[in-house]
Amino acid sequence: MGRGYTMEKENIYTKVTDYIRQNNLICPGDTIVEGISGGADSVCLFLILEEFKKEMDFTTVAVHVHHGIRKKTADKDQKFVEKLCASKNVPLKSFRKDIPLICKITKESEEECGRRIRYELFDEVCGLYDNAKIAVAHHMNDQAETILFRMIRGSGIKGLTGMEAKRDNIIRPLLCLKREEIEQYLEELDQDYRIDETNSTLEYSRNYIRKKVMPKLETVRQNAVEHINALSSEAADINDFMEKKAQELLDEASKEADSKYIVKGLSKKYKADVLSQAEPILLKFAVRLIITESGVSIKDVTRSHVDSLCELITKPKSGEIHLPRHVAVVKESGIVYIKPGDDFKADIQELANTEVVMPVAAIPVQASTEIQKRVRPEPNFKFFIPITGEGTYDLPDGSKVTCRILDEFDKDAIPEDTYTKWMDYAKITGDLCLRTRKTGDYLIINKKGNEGNLKNYMINEKIPKSERNDVPLLASGSKIYWVVGHRISEDVKVTDGTEQVMEFVFERGEEDG
């Protein structure tokens, strides 16, 4: 323990480090990507982890996102973070994003958009390191506020489970602390921090809960925050048990897909009479799992959706219940199944009508006339430009893409510009080209090597439908290495083992505005 620590600070520090060990949040050799805004919570997490590095062998990298919302104040936040990181010799990666502008395009709230952008950037930085985890500074008060917020939105038991200490590669080491403990820790260290004035406005529903509801609850009951967190922990245990039982019920009710009821291979279907014999509470859990299978986020589903589906399943008549994203759950002839949304159905129809793509020379002479009719040499691209080596390539709209191979580079200086991307040269395979999209395009979306459909990615990124056929793509076959202006494929990201970098820079043409 460093000098200047009082007994109270030691207790808080030990509380957090014990929590980290008990939940196996950090292991020797990890790289912890710390989100740091400059506020009390993230500064506290930053300082505790820096102290904890003296006890465990792991490294830290800080990430700060300037949201472009509070202008000069946000500039001061960034300078504060830069100074703090420099004082501890912690590498800092800062990003600037115009959240208000992005919101106008995506129709998200600033709160929702900012969160999405932050986690995308955290993931991007994680891709640069082995054994990387994202550390965020949520604490017990955040947990209580989240649970109350979900309750008033009509959440079920799952919503009461709150945030987990560890989920995928995200860790929350401060979930064992209350906000007052965080502020006390910083006060005793004489450590200042930044205050985000948007946290004080009641314009955001979460802030109203924080500023108005929680103080009144703690007036009624001093340990309200702890009690809500304890409820969340019990709810998580109940939810895990019930989801296991619900999955067993669905397994029993499912049978092989029949094209009369559902497009084969796209979804399971279930016998309604098996589901309807279950206890009502178990049926609700099963219905939520069916909704999750449909691709609709459970946070977009209301209690009325669940109740309506349960009623549809248990009543003798057929029908369908419509969910967000134009998805429907249908009951027909005693069978319950998912009907894909319009975009998904369009993909299915497009796939069904697509001709087989192969070189004409590869068509067997003895191929039937019907097969030959369904074979074409290439899809119709708006443009198709082979990448033959280093140089500048002109696009039809006047834009340019410049390609360079870098033998010397600093992996800690990877460009933050949306239109400049570095890739591991050794991991790029096949013949590269710049082109527009076609059916079957995909990209690698995570470190496990999972593939993601390009159209689904464009939908999730809220790229307007009218613009999707114009987005330049760096591709090899059906594999997309870069959706220009957006992400690159996960498997070509620069890592510690990268020896050569292939750099691509996109410059927008005058015709493009």
Q: What is the pLDDT of residue 478?
A: 86
Domain limits at 333?
256-338
337: amino acid identity, one letter: Y
Q: The domain spanning residue 491 has which CATH number? A: 3.50.40.10
Choose the final residue of a domain: 338, 372, 393: 338
Tell me: do 506 and 398 sit in the same domain: yes
Tell me: do 279 and 220 sit in the same domain: no
Q: Residue 348: inside a domain, yes or no?
A: no
Tell me: do 200 and 117 sit in the same domain: yes
Q: Residue 443: inside a domain, yes or no?
A: yes
Residues listed for the chain: 513
Tell me: do 57 and 173 sit in the same domain: yes
Give the count of domains, the chain.
3
- Interatomic CA distance for residues 434 and 385, integer angstroms: 5
Phi, psi of 479 (to 5 degrees): -85, 130
**Mean pLDDT computed over 139-163:** 87
Tell me: do 140 and 106 sit in the same domain: yes
Q: Residue 364: inside a domain, yes or no?
A: no
366-397: pLDDT as tens digits: 333 333 333 333 456 788 888 877 888 888 88
Tell me: do 484 and 421 sit in the same domain: yes
Q: The domain spanning residue 16 has which CATH number? A: 3.40.50.620
225-265: pLDDT as tens digits: 999 999 999 999 999 999 999 999 999 998 633 433 444 33
Tell me: do 130 and 220 sit in the same domain: yes
Tell me: do 409 and 494 sit in the same domain: yes
185-231: pLDDT as tens digits: 999 999 999 987 655 554 456 778 888 888 898 888 889 999 999 99
Q: Residue 452: inside a domain, yes or no?
A: yes
Q: Residue 245: inside a domain, yes or no?
A: no
| 66 or 462, higher pLDDT | 66
Q: Residue 472: inside a domain, yes or no?
A: yes
Q: What does the block give as tokens for 78?
A: 């960034």
- Interatomic CA distance for residues 377 and 361, integer angstroms: 9
Tell me: do 394 and 267 sit in the same domain: no
Q: Residue 301: inside a domain, yes or no?
A: yes
Q: Residue 73: inside a domain, yes or no?
A: yes
Tell me: do 56 and 145 sit in the same domain: yes
Choose the final residue of a domain: 338, 360, 395: 338
Q: The domain spanning residue 289 has which CATH number? A: 3.30.465.60
318-336: pLDDT as tens digits: 888 888 767 888 888 788 8
Choose the final residue of a domain: 317, 338, 359: 338
- Interatomic CA distance for residues 328 and 211, integer angstroms: 39
- The string of DSSP codes covering 349-396 is HHHHHPPEE--GGGS-TT--HHHHHTEES----S-EEE--SSEEEE-T
Tell me: do 220 and 287 sit in the same domain: no
- Does position 266 have pLDDT exceeding 70, yes or no? no
Tell me: do 115 and 221 sit in the same domain: yes
